Amino acid sequence: MKVPEKYYDEIFEFKGAWDVPSKCGLKIIDKGERKVVIVTELYQDNPGTSVTRAGRSLAEQACAAKGVDLASALYLECNPDTRSKLSFYDEEYFEVTFGGGTPSYRLLSPGEVKELLS
Amino acid sequence: MKLKLIYPRWQKLKGQTTFNLPPHGPVAFAATLPEEVEVSFTDENVEEIDFDEACDLVAISMMLSTQARRGWEIAARFRERGKQVIFGGIATMLHAEETLAHADSIFLGESEGRMEQVLEDWRRGALKKVYNYMARQPAIELVGPARRELYKRALYNHKGVQMVDLFHASRGCRFSCYPCAVSYLGGRVFRPRPMERVVEELATIENNRLFVVDNSLAQNKEWEKQLFREMIPFKKKWISHTIEDDPEILDLAARAGAWYVYQAIYDTSDYIKERVKRYHDHGIGVEGTILLGLDNQTEDDIKRLIDFLLEIDLDLAEFTIMTPFPHTKGYDDLLRENRIFDFDWDHYNAGQVVFHPKHMSANRLQELYDHAWESFYRDESQESKMFRLFCKVALREMNEGTYRARDRRLANRSFGKEVVRKNSVNEIKIS
């Protein structure tokens, strides 16, 4: 279940739950008025916490490292297509909003994904 | 000092045959304590806790999510009595943040080589709130024989038949399966114990029947072959999770005493059918483990799977409902889709639906789960199928001269409780 490199520009190392060293794919797209931050789950190549579990902590670490204002950015979590026979590993992008409590998620349509990545 | 070590009880699933196996986690943990520590162990699944027993420190070992809430209750009662309580074990790691609120201390990770420092902190009155070794696994060479002498053996006996002993030859797992948290708990690297330490531990186990609890034995072919070769002289019979699908390895496993395996049955393919047949061809029984409620299963798929199980000559089947345990991809996916409706960990027993399935209602999945158990065991009960498997192993042992007759003194007891026989043999109650 190797994640294709097309999903990320770099491997980002972050502190996961209980400080466990963790990795994700990271891509930042400059859309002019807004930056799009995409963190991609690496599955077998992530030795620690998943991007979803890491949640706001990962968002803050990634944005701090790259000088992006999280409050104004569009933050996305990506389940990459790993060419698995299992549908659980199909490609999906979620927009994540960090409110006061638990994050909320919205699944992006294929059209929205295409537009964002274009 | 005296340490009170507790393994909390959990609610067993309705309608299923219950056997209490001697838990492995607490005695593996006990082996990491300094020699001068006196340990008093209570498995609450088979005996009551004496909350007034004299002790200096209480350690609660939790494996299952369904033990968490009970573990917290136990901690509260000891803390009311002025005892400090430290938690450890798999479920502590899965539910660390919540457990922290009920504990004087939590230990995350594996305890080999770490307990001297923890106890020294306790002696100084400086027990830390969190001992975090999640990312720092100890050298696997440090894993020594579990302290099985702590078990009260008669409590793990059903009508004179001793339950299997649990044993492990490795930690970690190179796989990262959808519903499984093992990669979070034990690291994504397969860590085999040195073979001489495995052999050393096997030699200390009196029981001639084992459950090899490694996550999967199919991690490394050469290691697996070596393990089985080393196990052959012990003439033990054992249960395990999946064994590599390789004729040489299956042959070695059979010679090493493989009794039956837990094999995931995830589709109705010829491959699965042949896989089961290959185990049987080597004299190894198969208990199919069937996970229901995955997003790729419709109601018809589940019904077809149940029909398929009846065709492929499984020895036993165990049905579970997809359960989004924290730190699994399953949990992440369902959380993002806002499909988890129940966060009561007592319900995370793999027999209760706690999320909205994709292709049916939660109630319908619950009905199909009940239907699966009923259908598979309609013509022959679970007890009867288990008895057949038991007879097979007993015959093999008799042929090899390793069979041990059941303990007649315990013939009327089941897991420490008296078996009350009423008028008919079919009316047996455990008091």
Mean pLDDT of chain B: 94
Is residue B374 packed enough to be buried (19+ CB in 10 Å), middle (13-18) or exposed (0-12)? exposed
Query: Using an 8 Å Cβ cutoff, are B31 and B61 in contact?
Result: no
B353: nearest Cα among B344, B289, B373 = B344
User: B97 CA to chain A: closest CA distance, Å?
Assistant: 10
CA separation for the pair B7, B44 (Å, rounded): 6
Interchain CB contact of B422 with A (< 8 Å): no
State the residue for tokens 């008093």: B40
User: B99 CA to chain A: closest CA distance, Å?
Assistant: 14
ipTM value, please give it. Answer: 0.88
B266-277: pLDDT as tens digits: 899 999 999 999
B228-256: pLDDT as tens digits: 999 999 999 999 999 999 999 999 999 99
CA separation for the pair B117, A115 (Å, rounded): 56
Chain A residues whose CB is inside 8 A of the B294 CB are: 88
B1-53: pLDDT as tens digits: 999 999 999 998 877 778 899 999 999 999 999 999 999 999 999 999 999 99
Size of interface A-B (CB pairs under 8 A): 55
B14: nearest Cα among B351, B306, B269 = B351
Looking at per-residue pLDDT, the higher value among B93 and A3 belongs to B93
* Band of residue B416 on the pLDDT scale cut at 50, 70, 90: very high
Question: What average pLDDT does the segment B205-228 reach?
Answer: 96
Kindly give the residue spans of alpha helices, DSSP state H, lying in B187-337: 195-204, 221-231, 247-256, 270-281, 299-311, 329-336
Contact assignment for A18 to B132 by CB distance below 8 Å: yes
Q: Quick one: pLDDT at residue A56?
A: 95
Chain A residues whose CB is inside 8 A of the B188 CB are: 44, 47
Distance of CA B70 to the CA centre of its chain: 18
B124-152: pLDDT as tens digits: 999 999 999 998 899 999 999 999 999 99
Contact assignment for B329 to A50 by CB distance below 8 Å: yes
Query: Using an 8 Å Cβ cutoff, are A61 and A15 in contact?
Result: yes
Mutation to test the B interface, candidates A2, A42, A50, A95, most B Cβ within 10 Å = A50
A14: nearest Cα among A73, A71, A70, A56 = A56
Mutation to test the B interface, candidates A1, A15, A20, most B Cβ within 10 Å = A20
Domain count within chain A:
1
Tokens found for residue B116? 């001297």
Which CATH architecture describes the domain B2-140? Answer: 3-Layer(aba) Sandwich (3.40)
Classified by CATH at the fold level, domain B155-397 comes out as: Transcription Regulator spoIIAA (3.30.750)
Q: Quick one: pLDDT at residue B423?
A: 56
Q: Quick one: pLDDT at residue A25?
A: 97
What is the separation, in whole angstroms, between the first and last Cα of chain A?
26
Beta strands B84-88 and A21-30 are unpaired
What is the maximal distance between C-alpha atoms in chain A? 39
Query: Using an 8 Å Cβ cutoff, are A48 and B135 in contact?
Result: yes
Contacts of B351 (CB under 8 A, 6+ apart): B13, B14, B16, B320, B321, B369
Return per-residue pLDDT of chain A as tens, 118 residues: 788 888 999 999 999 999 999 999 999 999 888 999 999 999 888 888 999 999 999 999 999 999 999 999 999 999 998 877 776 778 999 999 998 778 999 999 999 999 998 8
Q: How far is CA B102 from CA B60, B87, B95, B352, in A?
A: 11, 9, 11, 26
pTM confidence score:
0.93
Which range of residues forms the domain containing residue A70?
A: 5-117
Q: Express as a percent the part of chain B with pLDDT over 70.
A: 97
Distance of CA A112 to the CA centre of its chain: 16
Count of CB atoms situated within 10 Å of the CB of B187 = 22
- The yes-or-no verdict on residue B422 having pLDDT over 70 is no
A33: nearest Cα among A61, A69, A60 = A69
The domain segmentation of chain B, as residue ranges, is 2-140, 155-397
B333-379: pLDDT as tens digits: 999 999 999 999 999 999 999 999 999 999 999 999 999 999 999 99
Interchain CB contact of B333 with A (< 8 Å): yes
